[in-house]
Structure 1
Amino acid sequence: MISEIQKAVEAGKLSAAAGQALEKLSPGTFVVHKSWGFGQVDAVNFLVSQMTIHFTAKKGHPMQLQYAAETLEPLAPDHILAQVAADAAAVKTRAHGDAVGLMRALLGSFGGKATQDQITQALVPAVFSEAEFKKWWEATKKTLKRDGHFVVPAKKTAPFELRATPVSHAAEFLTTLANARQLKDQLTALDQILKNLGEFTDAATQLTPVLATADSQARKNQRLNTAQALEMLLTRDEIAEKASLPKGADALAVDQILRDEKRRLVTLIGDLPAAKHKRVFAEIPAAFGDDWPAVALDLATRGSTRLVTEAARLLEEKGQTEALLKGIDREIRDHAITSETLIWLCKERDGVVADLVNPRLLSSIIGALERDQFDEAKRDRRLHDLLLNDKELLPDLIATATLEDMRNIMQKLMRTPVFEELNKRSLLGRIIRVFPEMQALLSGDSDAKQETLVVSWESLEKRKIAFDELVNKTIPENVKEISVARSYGDLRENFEFKAAKEMQRVLGRRRSEMERDLSLARGTDFANSDATRASIGTIVTLRETTDGRFDVYTILGAWDGDPEKGIVSYQSALAQALMGHQPGEQVTVPTEHGDRLADIVKVEPYRRA
């Protein structure tokens, strides 16, 4: 082929530079083109001055020799792309057996550095499927981090680099901290040291200056960048604790900053990364002594949802659950509770705050949403969306509601501007499924007079006793059952908890029904009954027309029915068939075996025994 190249150069068909380039493009050579990517030279035809290349996406592609010489880059046989094309299975075997060696070869093929995208394109899909590569790559990156020959970037778009000589990771971390000039970069460098403490073989020598640097930078920024200074001290303390090193007698203390910034503690801790919250909350008892529960409670009622979570956890762990519940309940009663605390309450409603989950909490949620709607600084829809999207939340909030509670809530919900009409209808529908009697309020018939219930004094007294037992015994027992069931653990798989919660709804429904019935009940002794016709408080004697049999029925109050004694409620079908008819009239009497004709023989007034 060299002789043909020389002839083409002498004939002026190729430039001398192109001729030299073509000497490296013999058939079988692997090449790379800027536009068409990886390929392999298939054939060279000097008669027509043309070369055929098999590119990955363009098989048998012809190119003029001069153009090919100028645009194709030949690859050495040990280039990673050439190895993959020649024997992908062998590359895969090497990847599993010597991942570090393969990465050295790969980075060497790309001039000593390559991005993750370049690495992926070289190995997927020829060597690995996407799923296989992801698993292999995660393990390989961890190996590369431990090997001092590689620079593993923090950013995904930055390149992985191959070093000529290995570098200690500990030395690299220390150098990064020493060269960091911006506070943000210093915090990042400190975090890297914290995450890689295992790299430091002589902690006392290597890390003592780090602690001093952190203390010094925190002091410099204590006034102007208090949150970052506090973050630096928290990281410093964690490094000292894990490396078993002293912080120094004159070291700036976290609790000192917390005390100095007590008035703006909510903002200060809120500006910290979430990863630092648990540690800073652990410092609160020591920082504030006997006053710490009040400080934690303030964070629980004024902070973000994350702060509420951590403050509540601290109070629970330290045996201050009762103080937490009383404090939140006070905020609810004073209409001062924040949306953030309400979100936490709703999400934790099956936990220690279960006793606060009631209709008053729902009113607070609506009030908070209305307050936030007109606050330009707050455009957070999390509480709004939580009430709409959590299908069990609203039923849980009204499980123990009375009818009066529900009337107030329905009216408040119908008037509020915070929900779109369709969403409002959805919420009202959930309420009506639990309290069907509220349908009248929604349809505009709420002012219609409800029919009173005529009951005997004895049955009224029994119903009041049953209601008192339900409210003062059965429902409190159910609350205890929920508390006990909650202690069994995972609420999602806790059958006892689910059963107790379902019973809570049943009892709440029973309470509202009994409350409604008692409000409509009117007691009587039936002393002034109209005995000229069948009516409430009369004894009616019937004679069936078919067999002449006599039956006697006593028509009494709504709760007095006793079929075995012939006593029927005036609301029953039988009583309704008789009432209003006089002796001598014929009536149709409903029975278990169908309707029968009977004559009213006589009507007598009921007399109590």
Structure 2
Amino acid sequence: MDAELEKLVEAGKLSSKAAGQLEKLKPGTFCLHKSWGFGRVREWNLLFNQVVIDFTNKKSHPMQTEYAAENLTPLAPEHFLARKATDLASIKNLARENPTALVRNILESLDGKATAQQISEWLFGDVFTEAEWKRWWESTKKALKASGAFSLPAKKTDPIQIRGEGVSHADELIAAFNKARQPKQQITALEQIIKFHEQFKEPEKQLQPIIVTVENTAARNQKIHPELAFELIMGRDDLLARVPRVHTTHIGLTLSKLILEEEHRLISILPKLPAAKEKRILQALPSALGPNWTERALGLMQGSHGRMVAQIPRILNEAGQHAELRTTLERSVREHSATSEMLAWLCNERESWSELVTPDLLGAIFSALEREQHNAPGRASKLHRTLVEDRQLLGDILRNGDVGLARDVMRRLQLSPLFDELTKRSLLARIVKVHPELESMITGSQAEEKAAPLIVSWSSLEKRKAEYEELVKTKIPENSREIALARSYGDLSENFEFKAAKQMQSVLLRRKAELEQMLHNARGTSFENPDTSRVSIGTIVTLRNAETNMEEAYTILGAWDGDPDRRIISYQTAIGQALLGHEIGETVSLNTEHGTAQFTIASIQPATPDRTPAPSPPSESAVEAVIAK
């Protein structure tokens, strides 16, 4: 031990353990600190009980000897950071000439393993630029794999390790598979075996047990977790195709047989699979199901999620089944039975299906959106986003239709609860762009033909009146004051506050005009004493599904009374219109999320009357008075 250190120990100023550690941290020694990183011992100043360190970003930093002994890790001269600090040129040369040796040095300096991120941190900046690092690392990874001396993980975040003596990559892959306890883990390990199948020198001995395990696991999981069985069998087939020297031990366990046995569960199985594997099963439908495959594929399309809806048409077209696909699409659009996923796909692919882009498509879209709002209120679907965000869609649909159809669409939009007011105005403007003669329907500049009266509850009428009162007495005056204040700031061309206030003024005035029109047409009622001999406004209708025999009840109320959570629907909805006028025992066809279904009217009961007092009839309504002004 250094004589000066011995004196400090004898004087009780330094522990023997700390002195032993400082013996390894003599001036000139490289070291690491957990916070300040790489450094080099500059000098000992034992008179002041200090060690001075030159850290990369903290030169001549003094430390108390005891603290330095406890917190500094001495680095051997062969440590990568020490080599880089003393001879950067040789490190750069090693990176060019022998990249695997460089990586080995880094891994050995990090206890035998390091992630790609850790390696890059030690090389980036002084050895490589960012662009140089990316090119170098891509080629180096190939060299590491080829050397067989390194274990490269499947995940980027897992560490690269120096492989032990006598352990090959193939051995590691087999060990990883055997270590897997869950089917999903086995699938991941199997995919790695397939990827590196050429590294197995004795496939019969090394891979045949893998085949046996995969098939047994698939057979065990088919009933409870069929999606895992599908993945395992597809993985097995991939391995058999790449390594002909191994063979199946379950002759009857094939992908086609799995599809046939699980045909009726495919609609729930396929969404659980990765997209590529889902596509592979769909492509196998013809060989598995024979002549019935087209019908089954179309059925899957009509009841499945968006990814499958996009996959199936491609497969049908590739198989020459375009006519069958077109017939199905035409019928589902015409009957308003198409799912929102199908319609969203059709809208996005409309250039290839221009013959279906008609006003009927828009009717199907509204029906699907109404079903969605009823089943999952408050959730914006892909179809809803497509209609709102695709600014050309409405124009494409209505371009070849007559103005009467466009007018009907605008009225339906104006009364629809599917969209907020700003979105509704945007959609209406797109229709006007195609049919400018309908502009008066949103500007109110011309008198439209008399609209049909709206039957509403007294309570909903009062809510609309309250909204109108707040608009006229509060919001519009406040907006006028905001405009005046913003105008006082001057320079209107660059005045954001003024522009924003004027835009809000347009919104408020449009809403005012809408409310005036709606209130003018509204006819309040309490729904007392409805006609229960047939379905009418103010009745509760119980429907029995002809196929499942299950019952569900709907309350049919006024135009503004819809409440999907309580199964209250407006008489203007598609369901309401389909039910009105029918009697007990009659059968009606309704569009559901699974297509068209038949329902029998089991009972008709009066709904609970609206107890909101009816207002006294004035000589001239407040709304009409406002309009008259």
TM-score of the two chains, using structure 2 as the length reference: 0.67
**Partner in structure 2 of residue 209 of structure 1:** 209
**Partner in structure 2 of residue 341 of structure 1:** 342
Q: Are residue 290 (structure 1) and residue 285 (structure 2) matched?
A: no
Q: Which deviates further from its counterpart, 319-328 or 246-255?
A: 246-255
Q: Which deviates further from its counterpart, 69-78 or 380-389?
A: 380-389
Quick check: 1:149–1:166 contact (8 Å CA) kept in 2? Answer: no
Q: Structure 1 residues 188 and 349, CA, compared in 2 at 3 Å: closer, same or farther? A: same
Distance 1:97 1:343 in 2: 56
Distance 1:24 1:179 in 2: 42
**Partner in structure 2 of residue 232 of structure 1:** 232
Shift of 1:30: 0.9
**Partner in structure 2 of residue 280 of structure 1:** 281
**Partner in structure 2 of residue 82 of structure 1:** 82
Q: Structure 1 residues 438 and 204, CA, compared in 2 at 3 Å: closer, same or farther? A: farther
Distance 2:152 2:251 in 1: 37
Quick check: 1:124–1:130 contact (8 Å CA) kept in 2? Answer: yes
**Partner in structure 2 of residue 40 of structure 1:** 40
**Partner in structure 2 of residue 220 of structure 1:** 220
Deviations 1:221-271 (A, max 9, x none): 111111111121122222222334654572312222222222222112222
What secondary structure, in the 3-state scheme, does the structure 1 residue paired with 2:95 have?
helix
**Partner in structure 2 of residue 430 of structure 1:** 430
Deviations 1:396-422 (A, max 9, x none): 222322212211221222222222211
Q: Structure 1 residues 248 and 56, CA, compared in 2 at 3 Å: closer, same or farther? A: same
Deviations 1:295-340 (A, max 9, x none): 1111222222221222111110111101111111111111111111
**Partner in structure 2 of residue 583 of structure 1:** none
**Partner in structure 1 of residue 161 of structure 2:** 161
What secondary structure, in the 3-state scheme, does the structure 1 residue paired with 2:51 have?
strand
Deviations 1:16-64 (A, max 9, x none): 3333222222222111112222111112223322221111232221112
Distance 1:203 1:88 in 2: 45
What secondary structure, in the 3-state scheme, does the structure 1 residue paired with 2:47 have?
coil
Q: Are residue 259 (structure 1) and residue 260 (structure 2) matched?
A: yes
The letter of the residue matching 2:210 is V
Q: Which deviates further from its counterpart, 393-402 or 181-190?
A: 393-402
Distance 2:399 2:220 in 1: 55
The letter of the residue matching 1:418 is L
Distance 2:35 2:53 in 1: 13
Q: Structure 1 residues 94 and 305, CA, compared in 2 at 3 Å: closer, same or farther? A: same
Q: Structure 1 residues 380 and 62, CA, compared in 2 at 3 Å: closer, same or farther? A: same
**Partner in structure 2 of residue 268 of structure 1:** 269
Distance 1:10 1:206 in 2: 64
Quick check: 1:293–1:315 contact (8 Å CA) kept in 2? Answer: yes
Q: Structure 1 residues 312 and 108, CA, compared in 2 at 3 Å: closer, same or farther? A: same
Q: Structure 1 residues 49 and 448, CA, compared in 2 at 3 Å: closer, same or farther? A: closer
**Equivalent residue runs for 1:235-254 within 5 Å:** 235-244=235-244, 246-247=247-248, 250-254=251-255
Q: Structure 1 residues 179 and 448, CA, compared in 2 at 3 Å: closer, same or farther? A: closer
Runs (5+) with no aligned partner, structure 1? 451-609
Distance 2:401 2:208 in 1: 62
Deviations 1:456-494 (A, max 9, x none): xxxxxxxxxxxxxxxxxxxxxxxxxxxxxxxxxxxxxxx
Q: Which deviates further from its counterpart, 393-402 or 67-76?
A: 393-402
Distance 2:97 2:305 in 1: 49
Distance 2:21 2:10 in 1: 16
Shift of 1:449: 6.6
**Partner in structure 2 of residue 17 of structure 1:** 17
**Equivalent residue runs for 1:99-498 within 5 Å:** 99-244=99-244, 246-247=247-248, 250-351=251-352, 353-376=353-376, 379=379, 381-444=381-444, 448=448
**Partner in structure 1 of residue 51 of structure 2:** 51
Q: Structure 1 residues 262 and 66, CA, compared in 2 at 3 Å: closer, same or farther? A: closer
Quick check: 2:215–2:250 contact (8 Å CA) kept in 1? Answer: no
**Equivalent residue runs for 1:560-571 within 5 Å:** none
Task: Pick the structure with greater CA Rg.
Answer: 1
Q: Structure 1 residues 136 and 438, CA, compared in 2 at 3 Å: closer, same or farther? A: farther
The letter of the residue matching 2:58 is K
Distance 2:247 2:17 in 1: 68
The letter of the residue matching 1:4 is E
Shift of 1:89: 4.1
**Partner in structure 2 of residue 496 of structure 1:** none
Distance 2:166 2:355 in 1: 61
Quick check: 1:370–1:416 contact (8 Å CA) kept in 2? Answer: no
The letter of the residue matching 1:100 is T
Distance 1:202 1:398 in 2: 67
Distance 1:50 1:273 in 2: 61
Q: Structure 1 residues 11 and 53, CA, compared in 2 at 3 Å: closer, same or farther? A: same
Quick check: 1:145–1:152 contact (8 Å CA) kept in 2? Answer: yes
Quick check: 2:336–2:363 contact (8 Å CA) kept in 1? Answer: no
Q: Which deviates further from its counterpart, 50-59 or 371-380?
A: 371-380
**Equivalent residue runs for 1:588-603 within 5 Å:** none
Q: Structure 1 residues 220 and 40, CA, compared in 2 at 3 Å: closer, same or farther? A: same
Distance 2:204 2:377 in 1: 49
Shift of 1:445: 6.2
Q: Structure 1 residues 114 and 288, CA, compared in 2 at 3 Å: closer, same or farther? A: same
Quick check: 2:50–2:65 contact (8 Å CA) kept in 1? Answer: yes
Distance 2:9 2:154 in 1: 51
Distance 1:302 1:50 in 2: 76
Distance 2:51 2:267 in 1: 72
The letter of the residue matching 2:132 is E
Shift of 1:156: 4.0
The letter of the residue matching 2:330 is D
What secondary structure, in the 3-state scheme, does the structure 2 residue paired with 1:60 have?
strand
**Partner in structure 2 of residue 568 of structure 1:** none
Distance 1:325 1:448 in 2: 39
**Partner in structure 1 of residue 453 of structure 2:** none
Tell me how many residue pairs correspond in the alignment.
Answer: 449
Deviations 1:196-245 (A, max 9, x none): 22323444554343333222221111111111111211222222223346
What secondary structure, in the 3-state scheme, does the structure 2 residue paired with 1:94 have?
helix
Q: Structure 1 residues 35 and 213, CA, compared in 2 at 3 Å: closer, same or farther? A: same
TM-score of the two chains, using structure 1 as the length reference: 0.69
Distance 1:446 1:238 in 2: 70
Q: Structure 1 residues 392 and 196, CA, compared in 2 at 3 Å: closer, same or farther? A: farther
What secondary structure, in the 3-state scheme, does the structure 2 residue paired with 1:111 have?
coil
Quick check: 2:441–2:448 contact (8 Å CA) kept in 1? Answer: no
Q: Structure 1 residues 144 and 373, CA, compared in 2 at 3 Å: closer, same or farther? A: farther
Deviations 1:412-468 (A, max 9, x none): 222222222112211221221222112122234675479xxxxxxxxxxxxxxxxxx
Distance 2:257 2:17 in 1: 74
Distance 2:144 2:6 in 1: 48
Quick check: 2:151–2:169 contact (8 Å CA) kept in 1? Answer: no
For CA contacts below 8 A with separation 6 or more, give which structure has more relative contact order: 2
Distance 2:423 2:449 in 1: 30
Distance 1:90 1:409 in 2: 76
Percentage identity across aligned positions? 43
Distance 2:397 2:166 in 1: 63
The letter of the residue matching 1:189 is A
Shift of 1:79: 0.8
Shift of 1:103: 1.4
Shift of 1:285: 0.4
Aligned-residue RMSD, C-alpha: 2.5
